[in-house]
Amino acid sequence: MNSFGVIFRVSVFGESHGPAIGVVIDGCPPGLPLATDDFIPDLTRRQSGSKGTTKRQEADIPEILSGVHEGFTNGAPVTVITRNRDRISSDYEGFKDIPRPGHADFTSKMKYSGFADMRGSGHFSGRITWGLVAAGVIAKMIAGKSEINASLISAGGSTDIEKALDEAIAKNDSIGGIIECVVKDPPVALGEPFFYSFESALSHLVFSIPAIKGIEFGSGFDAASMKGSEHNDPFIDGKGKTATNKAGGLNGGITNGNDIIFRVAVKPTSSIGVEQNTFNFTEGKMDILKVTGRHDTCIALRMPVIVEAVTAIAMADLILIDRGINTKRN
């Protein structure tokens, strides 16, 4: 189930310490201008290296294997890969015995009956999101003029993100964060009832990103405390513009043309330098785990560009479906 999309279909593959990771993007309209360089800005934003992110440094140079001819998409699937280079697999040996709390070590071992590649979390690694960002670059071209912007609005419960990071680093601990994403001036009428509402498509993709614990659209969880008279967004013109935007640009699962707004909650990285008292599955007793590999203090720092990418991917698929079916409007 490593593919998503009805027409614009994204398939990711690869393991953190395998030969390569990559993505196949099918259903690309032909004629989009595309070159390796187009992937660099977003892939660079995703990269680690700044304060609070892992010291693993991948050059992450994308290689286009298919789907592009003389500078344009050619209608065939676009495949982009990057080689894994900076691998220290020995860091991960012990996690078969003592699976890291909060991590996929235990579930991936169970799921694949012991055959999963657990080095660097294998296929469960955040590294697999590289392919999402690459696909997002193409999806943004299809999403067209709509500007998609995601940013980290808090970390460790604080809007002073720098300070929260310093504290967590000092303690060898990690922190979570909240990312907000806004799509300016989206097309009206994106989203397919009943089961492929805008929120369904987007949340499906968002919860494929490791470490996400929640998503809310517009007023989100606050809506549960509100009255209808407070929450409703009155229309103020014939194009559907509303005075307020509690709905986050979505009514009945369909974009109403106002800005799309949503937030996602990112948990703190589960790999931490702090000692943890947990079960040793090989020895059959409680044990002390101290994780020593290279990890992000706050994985949320690297996520805005990934959230933008999945937003663009959802929009691209919904745009192409809508074009296909609703011929009277398109």
Q: Which of residues 216-275 bind a copy of itself (CB under 8 A)?
A: 216-238, 240, 242, 246-248, 251-256, 265-272, 274
CB of 309 to a copy of itself, least distance (A): 13
For 102, the token pair is 């909060």
CB of 44 to a copy of itself, least distance (A): 23
Nearest C-alpha neighbor of 144 from the set 328, 324, 315, 325: 315
Tell me the C-alpha to C-alpha distance, in Å, between residue 305 and each of 129, 134, 300. Answer: 10, 10, 10
CB of 40 to a copy of itself, least distance (A): 18
Residues 150-169 that bind a copy of itself (CB under 8 A): 154-157, 168
Residues 183-212 that bind a copy of itself (CB under 8 A): 188-189, 191-197, 199-201, 203-208, 210, 212
Binding mask 18-37 for a copy of itself (x = CB under 8 A): xxxxx-x-xxxxxx------
Largest CA distance in the chain: 69
Q: Could you tell me how far CA 99 lies from the centroid of its own chain?
A: 24
Helix, strand or coil for residue 67? Answer: coil
Nearest C-alpha neighbor of 128 from the set 310, 321, 261, 275: 310
Binding mask 32-61 for a copy of itself (x = CB under 8 A): ------------------------------
Please, which residue, 220 or 293, has the CB nearer to a copy of itself? Answer: 220
Helix, strand or coil for residue 243? Answer: coil
Does position 292 bind a copy of itself by CB under 8 A?
no
CB of 125 to a copy of itself, least distance (A): 10
Does position 181 bind a copy of itself by CB under 8 A?
no
Measured between alpha carbons, how far is 61 from 52 in angstroms, rounded to an integer? 22
Nearest C-alpha neighbor of 261 from the set 330, 328, 178, 325: 178
Please report which helix (H) or strand (E) contains residue 180, including its range. Answer: strand 177-184
Q: How many residues sit close enough to a copy of itself to count as binding (CB under 8 A)?
A: 157
Binding mask 103-142 for a copy of itself (x = CB under 8 A): xxxxxx-xxxx-xxx---xxxx---x--------------
